[in-house]
Chains A and B, each alone.
Chain A
């Protein structure tokens, strides 16, 4: 149990070198889970006696509301995790630039501890291109996870193309009509992710061109083709319309309970591939493999949009910047990485990090993880979402799927919405 010590009383008297009195480090985050965080915190406290890490853990949505407010109000915070989206720009005025901090207090300069490409993405999030966050790693969407036992039982192989997907679905429906071929949530934001993944399969870096205002438009051929591909996937039965009323939890539940052969989600679900993760969460699956989304456009190749996730930062009001840097280094590039890396939720950004043994229980699983990691590290575009617009894009897709609206009409509509100023893309 973490002791709640009023930080204010002790902070003023802190010396930077020794922690003679107990020091409290206020950690604010929404990820990973408390179990994982406790492991990390315990390990850090063991290495740093006299330090108490107080965990302020919130649910993601609540965190989006809570953290910026608390930061702006000067609440006691020593290390804050920032969501790698528009949140960075929202809060950066309350954060300290990391590079100089690491030079001063870290064991090395930050770009020798954390992969430079991850740091570049981190910098791109701030409108002043400065580095405020140390990312834990990289994740992306969309990917597909398969119940390998069911694949074997039904003599199926991982579908890589649209035709293979059609065969896959037909085969499942025929042999086991009680199973859902692919389970995924019909939430609007996820449909947007699917469409954007397909758009990247054309290899033109579509999303970056729109997101970073380098001339891309929502009525470009790459997106129009992707939009069509997704809508036709539903009308041709490759994606089941039944999934449109599944929320995230239910879609995951169906896969884990063996009622679906495959599960489509972001790569943060890669824990499904890890045996320790499955066991500690009592997920009743024995063999899981993964792949990128089947290619749904002509002449395309598999792709994933990826981006850094969970950026750790030092707020202006941190009482002890040296300690904050120490913790960040520990969690992102030091001994702490091993504590969370077996959840496989991100590919760690720590330079030179290798996954421990014992995570995968089959070669196929390990190979498929490498495939996913490879796609993640070579993305077509950044998965740098604008969440309120994403909902609108998803709604456009759903509307086309259910009401047969024309793609031309919908994509033109999306472009005008993008330009309207209503959404958070206009920063």
Chain B
């Protein structure tokens, strides 16, 4: 995480309380209690009224881990996260660098890339859905009208294509990485760049060999936050494919939702939420460990 020496070695208890107190309060109320609740209910078969729960030990977890749909959902989460990260670190980086030059229309371009991340995901996902309808959707109608009927596929129905659509949706969220790179870019030391230019280096080389390595902190932020936040994803899949067709694009968010709407098996939903948290924890730990080794 930090390879800089911290400023104050041993803070007084009073300072710890002052600076960390509010955070601890929030976490205790909202996360500790919730986790405790999840643990408590995950070992029971219990309904949302929380009356008459029966203790069933590890059964919920067994059922969960033997459900191929759940494993598939977790895998999808990881794949979509990986795709987002790769897109962010490559395409996002390039776009951010390109936009950081003093060109006209910068703000408009920023807006176009940023808007999808700031708008309700329900809107974007449902727009995609309507555009890609196989029979009456805008894209296929367009393709048919220019004689490209063979390309008018069933984008949301054919499993590999539907998967691709969701991938595209995730990439659509490239605005956030762009924003972080932009912030970091404006603050870097330009003397190194001057030297490189003086040496006759071309843009591509400058980007790859100087700028990219300089942004290490931002890379890490993006990777970590994308991985973790991908487990929060729900709207983006729910409003486009709903986890379909037949669970192809299911993610943990839509999986848990499916079982929580009937309210009769809160225990199972809690077990799912806990397993997801553990998986996220492991992955985050792995990622931190790996980056610490490299730096």
Q: Is the A/B pair a real complex?
A: yes
Q: Mark B30-56, 1 if CB is under 8 A from A, else 0.
A: 000000000000000101111110000
Whether A402 contacts B159 by the Cβ 8 Å rule is yes
Whether A186 is near chain B, meaning CB under 8 Å from some CB there, is: yes
Complex Cα distance A391/B67, Å? 15
Whether A398 is near chain B, meaning CB under 8 Å from some CB there, is: yes
Whether A87 contacts B130 by the Cβ 8 Å rule is no
The listed residue (A186, A254, A399, A420) touching B136 by CB distance below 8 A is A254
Whether A86 contacts B264 by the Cβ 8 Å rule is yes
Whether B49 contacts A244 by the Cβ 8 Å rule is no
The listed residue (A68, A186, A250) touching B48 by CB distance below 8 A is A68
Complex Cα distance A71/B67, Å? 32
Complex Cα distance A246/B136, Å? 10
Whether A71 contacts B49 by the Cβ 8 Å rule is yes
B157 contacts across to A, CB distance below 8 A: 186, 241-242, 244-245, 402
Whether B262 contacts A259 by the Cβ 8 Å rule is no
A402 contacts across to B, CB distance below 8 A: 157-159, 245-246
A85 contacts across to B, CB distance below 8 A: 262
The smallest C-beta distance from A71 to any residue of chain B, in angstroms, reads: 7
The smallest C-beta distance from A234 to any residue of chain B, in angstroms, reads: 11
Whether B116 is near chain A, meaning CB under 8 Å from some CB there, is: no
Within 8 A of A (CB), among B114-137: 129-130, 132-136
Complex Cα distance A85/B47, Å? 14
Whether B259 contacts A388 by the Cβ 8 Å rule is yes
Complex Cα distance A68/B47, Å? 10
- Assuming the contacts A86-B262, A180-B135, A424-B262, asked whether A93 and B245 have C-beta atoms less than 8 A apart, the reply is no
Task: State which size class the interface on A falls in.
Answer: 35 or more
- Assuming the contacts A72-B48, A254-B136, A395-B246, asked whether A422 and B268 have C-beta atoms less than 8 A apart, the reply is yes
Give the dominant DSSP class at A's interface: helix
Whether B221 is near chain A, meaning CB under 8 Å from some CB there, is: no
A180 contacts across to B, CB distance below 8 A: 135
The listed residue (B48, B154, B156, B245) touching A90 by CB distance below 8 A is B48
The listed residue (B50, B134, B136) touching A72 by CB distance below 8 A is B50
The smallest C-beta distance from A328 to any residue of chain B, in angstroms, reads: 22
Whether A357 is near chain B, meaning CB under 8 Å from some CB there, is: no
Most A CB contacts (10 A, CB to CB) among B45, B49, B129 go to B49
B50 contacts across to A, CB distance below 8 A: 72
Could you write out 24 A-B pairs with CB less than 8 Å apart? A64-B262, A69-B48, A71-B49, A85-B262, A87-B262, A87-B263, A89-B264, A90-B48, A90-B49, A93-B49, A241-B157, A244-B157, A245-B132, A246-B133, A247-B242, A250-B133, A254-B136, A387-B262, A398-B245, A399-B246, A402-B157, A402-B158, A422-B63, A422-B268
Smallest CB-CB A-B distances: 7 pairs = A245-B156, A242-B135, A398-B246, A395-B246, A424-B264, A399-B246, A244-B157
Hey, which bits of chain A sit against chain B, CB under 8 A?
Answer: 61, 64-65, 68-69, 71-72, 85-87, 89-91, 93-94, 180, 186-188, 240-247, 250, 254, 259, 386-388, 391, 395-396, 398-399, 402-403, 420-424, 427
Hey, which bits of chain B sit against chain A, CB under 8 A?
Answer: 45, 47-52, 59, 63, 67, 129-130, 132-136, 154-159, 242, 244-247, 258-265, 268
Known: A245-B132, A386-B262, A388-B259. 20 other contacts (CB 8 A): A64-B261, A64-B262, A86-B264, A89-B264, A90-B263, A93-B52, A94-B49, A240-B135, A242-B134, A242-B135, A246-B133, A247-B242, A387-B262, A388-B261, A388-B262, A391-B258, A399-B245, A402-B159, A422-B67, A423-B265
